[in-house]
A and B are shown apart, each in its own frame.
Chain A
Amino acid sequence: MARYIAQRLVLMVITLFVIVSVSFFVLHSMPGSFINDPRMPKEVKKAIEDKYHLNEPLIVQYGYFLKDFVRLDFGISIALQPKVNVNKILATKIPVSMQVNIFSLILSIPVGIILGIWAALKKNKIPDHVISILIIAFISIPSFVFASLLQYFIAFKLGWFPIVVTTEQTLTWSKFVSMVLPILALSFGSIAGIARYTRAELCEALNSEYMLLAKSKGLTQVQATTRHAMRNSFIPLANIIIPMFTGIMGGSLVIEKIFSIPGMGSVMVEAINAKDYPVAMGVLFWYSLVGLLTILIVDLSYGIIDPRIRIGGRK
């Protein structure tokens, strides 16, 4: 096992290096400059660009970048928040996004699973049809439509919740209340995804022969379902739930815009638009790292959940 993880980690480092290198060259080959003030004298512009080594050959710039990169230092932002360290910018933005996303996950995993189980048990009956219609609606209607509707009716018309999220950094009750609507808007999609998947997996497990044997042993439908069908149907569920955790850091561009959340959602796009190379590189790196780690965790989790992989691989 340890050997396997070590192997995977080495491969991960190589992958990361490739991702970062490719992104570096792609980002830097975009035309234009981060200074777009047309009145700025050419000499001044050149002086500023020289300061950031932007006029040197790309390969030299890449050398500078790598030197700092090994210390995980991405330098300072040049356009978005000039002269602030990139990692520091991210450190202020990520927690904000995380708060909203964690609550959204806490809400959507159990609700999604329960709806999925309910639909599977009542397959082809009214509850199943209702849930299936809701699932289709939640998946096909974009989250910003929900967000706008919630904001307009519940926050603006009824006034139950604040329209935008408060700017407090720490998590207080008032902050939580203001976050309820974006949490809801974010959750609908993942609830639908989880419910749909759970329903499909559980339906298959319910029709399996081991369920038949369990029932012929004298277990009731409920006992047989909870003891046998559920566990088997959760194995493939890990596949979609674990990646959701990686989404935590990301934040949603649209939802954060609508509710004025100062999170990660827009940083990447703004950084690229403003040609703020250090910020863009920093965001890309951290995202890739988390993404790769998630894939590793998913693969390892199969071994933990499924004895066939855990014990079978040991031979």
Chain B
Amino acid sequence: MKNRECILEVKDLYLTFNTYAGKVHAARGVNFSLNKGETLAIVGESGSGKSVTARAIMGLLPKNANIDKGEIIYKGRDLIKLSDREMTDIRGSDIAMIFQDPMSSLDPVMKIGRQITEALRIKQKVPAAEAKKKALRLMEAVGIDNVERRYNQYPFQFSGGMRQRIVIATALACDPEILICDEPTTALDVTVQAKILELIKEIQKERNLSVIFITHDLGVVANMEDRVAVMYAGKIIEYGTVDEIFKDPRHPYTMALLSAMPDLETDSSTELYAIPGAPPNLLHPPKGDAFAPRNRFAMRIDLEEEPPMFKVSDTHYAATWLLHEEAPTIDFDTFKQKTLEKRRKFKEKEKNNEESQKPILEVRNLKQYFTSGFGRRKLVVKAVDDISFDIYKGEIFGLVGESGCGKTTTGRSIIGLYEPTEGEIYFNGELISRGQKHKGSRKFTREISMIFQDPIASLNPRMTVKEIIGEGLKISKLYHEDEIMERVYKMLEIVGLSKEHANRYPHEFSGGQRQRIGIARALIVNPKLVIADEPISALDVSIQAQVLNLLNELKNEFDLTLLFIAHDLSVVKYFSDRIGVMYNGKLVEIADADELYRNPLHPYTKSLLSAIPIPNPDYERTRKHIHYDPSIHDYSEEEPKMVEVKQGHFVYGSASEIKEYTKSLEIYS
């Protein structure tokens, strides 16, 4: 195993944070080593201690953090014992780091050229001209064109993906040996994410860098080669090569995490596997295995004693008592089987009787423009540009697209937050797109409700849970106070909370619980149609599955119709019956979920599908990301429109394009 030189070693790292509530044990004995030229991926949910460990290596911990114990050995030196001044020599030139949000990690008022060369000029005293030459080379290497001109621009003149490229160039300026990437693609769109991941891999190979890649996304991990370490509650609970972790996971948490994520292959007629409960509170770290309370295979010893690292193979270790010789063998297959038994089947999705059904919502040529300025400076943003679709009763319609494609605007126009620039929206056959003043709009606002993305920002922090949930009933003035309370309590139970929660405030709940409150608030008015705007994208993987299952269950129970807006195509594919793909304010393709996945026709859909990272290393190795170039469409002569190429499968394109699409559809089938 040690055929490669070990470059960095973290030994038994214990880290605590001093907070008002007490000491938070963020890292509890983290051990790992990094070899020269390899990529080590650290996966874990928020609060598992992965970012903190990375910050400890960089010596950039916040002021309230203490390192209680442990060593970080780099080139024979213990980084923890170094003074801040000695660390500044190591940062940048030996170990560099890039961060999650490229929008805020560049100085907004400094030209990017100066930001890249800054460290070179100050630390290595490289003359200005030479530093510039190197910066231009770096910018070219990270895939920025027009470097001479770009060199003198400011960060706000770049898109998110471009900024992350610049951050990478900045980190590479002093030729470090180790690059720590802290969720570098989490804030980016899938197609951009795919490009950035390609870039990091490329650079790693070229420069023989050692990379520590921190992420919560197992799909991204499968994409990065070499080794994976899984963190839970401040500890590494399992590590091994990518294949070992994905094909033969030994720790029940790893298994659970792998089963909880829907991918494009997941059978959408069964409930997702959801890890019960929530991660432990690290103010009072649990005794024994931290995962034990959520582990259905937990034995008594799991709750009493901390498991040691058991060796599975030379490269694969896991900390679970299940690997003890006296424990029953639970491997991934038995885990899958056992958990599958418990999962409920949804009733077969009814299809093909849609013609007989009337659509509950019809959107006709909806246009939503936002204008600013006037006269010559008038600026029109076509957020939604002429889209039409129907949603049938009882179905889940998924709307996917990248940020800024207009999917959220569509949802808001439907619920009446915006008055459409043009076009009509019919609900149950009645026109509702006349704005708030329109008589009878009250009735519709009760029948359509919305679940929002950010469960923290969308709940009023000064209102108790019962006030938040009951508000929708209160303003309609149809119910008596006692009746409202009764229904609030009932609703709380339905979404998996209890009566006792009613008098608390939102901040006392975890992210998943808050989203449950959001769902309760949306459903209490007995809506017919629920618009869910990215309801799970702010949640951790293990919590996402819980919320998805809940939504699915409630949908059947309340006979709901859902408009599910998301950017994550694998979740949408699992969750929806039909999917609409949006690009740049236009719907480019609508089809049944399976059909869209099997026979994507529009090049943008293909690109989107190819960009999704799948938690399967074999697939990831062969995956080719298709880049979408909107300029391939020539609409100068033929007017493009939405055409039904197969029953229920619509594509946007010009006549000649449609002909081609139809042809390729025949080849598919």
A residues sitting closer than 8 Å to B (CB atoms) are 208-210, 212-221, 223, 227-228, 231-232, 235, 305-308, 311-312
With contact pairs A209-B99, A235-B109 given, residues A223 and B104 touching in the complex (Cβ less than 8 Å): no
Query: Which residue from B89, B104, B119, B154 sits with its C-beta under 8 Å from A308?
Result: B154
Query: Is A215 in contact with B104, judged by CB distance below 8 angstroms?
Result: no
Across the interface, which residues of A come within 8 angstroms of B171, CB to CB? Answer: 213, 216-217
Within 8 A of A (CB), among B151-178: 154, 156-157, 167, 170-171, 173-174
Shortest distance from the beta carbon of A127 to any chain B beta carbon, whole Å: 15
With contact pairs A223-B122, A228-B110 given, residues A216 and B91 touching in the complex (Cβ less than 8 Å): yes
Q: How far is the CA of A235 from the CA of B108 in the complex (A)?
A: 11
For B58, B90, B118, the residue with the greatest tally of chain A CB atoms inside 10 Å of its CB is B118
Across the interface, which residues of B come within 8 angstroms of A213, CB to CB? Answer: 97-99, 105-106, 167, 170-171
With contact pairs A213-B99, A308-B154, A312-B156 given, residues A218 and B105 touching in the complex (Cβ less than 8 Å): no
For A209, A227, A232, A305, the residue with the greatest tally of chain B CB atoms inside 10 Å of its CB is A209
Across the interface, which residues of A come within 8 angstroms of B301, CB to CB? Answer: none
Shortest distance from the beta carbon of A104 to any chain B beta carbon, whole Å: 30
Across the interface, which residues of A come within 8 angstroms of B90, CB to CB? Answer: 218
Q: 4 closest A-B pairs (Cβ-Cβ)?
A: A218-B92, A217-B119, A209-B105, A216-B97
Flag whether B198 is at the interface (Cβ < 8 A). no
Query: Which residue from B89, B92, B154, B170 sits with its C-beta under 8 Å from A311?
Result: B154
Query: Is B96 in contact with A217, judged by CB distance below 8 angstroms?
Result: yes
B residues sitting closer than 8 Å to A (CB atoms) are 58, 60, 84-85, 88-93, 96-99, 101, 104-110, 118-119, 122-123, 154, 156-157, 167, 170-171, 173-174
Q: How far is the CA of A189 from the CA of B174 in the complex (A)?
A: 47
Query: Which residue from B84, B92, B104, B110 sits with its C-beta under 8 Å from A216?
Result: B92
Shortest distance from the beta carbon of A213 to any chain B beta carbon, whole Å: 5
With contact pairs A227-B118, A308-B154 given, residues A217 and B105 touching in the complex (Cβ less than 8 Å): no
Shortest distance from the beta carbon of B95 to any chain A beta carbon, whole Å: 8
Q: How far is the CA of A215 from the CA of B174 in the complex (A)?
A: 13
Q: How far is the CA of A308 from the CA of B156 in the complex (A)?
A: 7
Query: Is B108 in contact with A220, judged by CB distance below 8 angstroms?
Result: no
Across the interface, which residues of B come within 8 angstroms of A216, CB to CB? Answer: 58, 60, 91-92, 96-97, 171
Q: How far is the CA of A311 from the CA of B97 in the complex (A)?
A: 30
Q: How far is the CA of A179 from the CA of B118 in the complex (A)?
A: 46
Q: How far is the CA of A312 from the CA of B99 in the complex (A)?
A: 25
Q: Which residue of chain B lies nearest to A218 when distances are taken between CB atoms in the complex? A: B92
Query: Is A219 in contact with B118, judged by CB distance below 8 angstroms?
Result: yes
With contact pairs A218-B119, A311-B157 given, residues A210 and B104 touching in the complex (Cβ less than 8 Å): yes
Query: Is A218 in contact with B93, judged by CB distance below 8 angstroms?
Result: yes
Query: Is B104 in contact with A209, judged by CB distance below 8 angstroms?
Result: yes
Q: How far is the CA of A230 from the CA of B349 in the complex (A)?
A: 60
Shortest distance from the beta carbon of B652 to any chain A beta carbon, whole Å: 29
Across the interface, which residues of B come within 8 angstroms of A212, CB to CB? Answer: 60, 99, 105
Query: Is A307 in contact with B154, judged by CB distance below 8 angstroms?
Result: yes
Query: Is B92 in contact with A217, judged by CB distance below 8 angstroms?
Result: yes
Shortest distance from the beta carbon of B397 to any chain A beta carbon, whole Å: 37
Query: Is B109 in contact with A306, judged by CB distance below 8 angstroms?
Result: yes
Shortest distance from the beta carbon of A50 to any chain B beta carbon, whole Å: 52
